[in-house]
Amino acid sequence: MGAWRGRKLKDLKKMKKIMFNNKYGLTRAVLEGSKTQTRHILNPTMLFERLNTYEGWTKESIADWKEYCKDRLYKAEGEELKEMLDYALEHSLYKVGENVAIAQRYKDLADNDEFYRLCGIHGMPLECIKFEKGCKNKMFVKADLMPNRIRITNIRIERLQEISDEDCIAEGIKKNPEVLRGMWEFSYIKGVTLKFEMSTTPRGAYAKLIDHISGKGTWESNPYVFVYEFELIK
């Protein structure tokens, strides 16, 4: 069994995977078809890192370099900015038309027939599943074993606060159906309690959501983001 695990880890890396936040119900929203967009913050170092390897750098020099890259991007204008964003689009993690696996923990797929079929195709003995890190942490799952997938239909780069109300709904923000009509919300699990955050607009609710997911102050900092539009493959 040990030899199999070491060998197969290298074999199952062809397809990429994407992770949606379970705590805020985003994986479920994708699978239900109500979430068809996701935003990933653009790391400015990707625009310049081709010139550096960080080998031999101190933590301080790396921090200075990252700050320099950020400063260059957010001060850029006109043709220089266009060239930077065009380069980022060209080197985005996902590509238009690409099929991407939705990462889910193996133990959450225990009743999924397609998961078991894929395990058989790729030679994953079912008795080995419980020993894999991906059983409890979807960061470590093999993309080729994931039964649910999306197809990237469009990619663009914009500032976070350029998001429209329609885009916020495509990000998974929902209208409160009963108690507070006219309010927009998202829900999340805290301990064993289901909690709700609300706003009078989809953008207001999304601003709260992104701060929960990416850290307080993310909305206010208004970073450049990759906007991935996608469809669920059925």
pLDDT tens sequence across 183-223? 888 888 777 777 888 889 999 999 999 999 999 999 999 99
Given a contact cutoff of 8 angstroms between Cβ atoms, the answer to whether 212 and 24 are in contact is yes
Answer whether 210's CB lies under 8 Å from 186's CB.
no
What does the pLDDT look like over 65-77, one tens digit per residue?
889 999 999 999 9
How much is the average pLDDT of 143-170?
97
% of the chain surpassing 70 pLDDT? 90
Bridge-based pairing of strands 174-175 and 99-102 is unpaired
User: How many structural domains compose the chain?
Assistant: 1
The CA–CA distances, whole Å, from 48 to 40, 53, 213 equal 18, 11, 27
Q: Residue 62: is its pLDDT beyond 90?
A: no
Helix (H, G, I), strand (E, B) or coil at 72: helix
Q: How confident is the model at residue 4 (pLDDT cuts 50, 70, 90)?
A: very low
What is the token pair recorded at 135? Answer: 């059983």
Provide the pLDDT confidence category of residue 9 given band limits of 50, 70 and 90. Answer: very low
Write out the two tokens for 17.
Answer: 């995977």
What predicted TM-score, i.e. pTM, was given to this entire model? Answer: 0.87
pLDDT of residue 216: 95
- Domain containing residue 184: 2-233
pLDDT single digits (tens) 83-93 = 999 999 999 99
d(CA 229, CA 152): 6
Q: What is the pLDDT of residues 32-49, one digit of tens each?
A: 999 999 999 999 999 986
| Alpha carbons 101 and 123: distance in angstroms, whole number | 18
CB-CB neighbours of 7 under 10 Å: 10
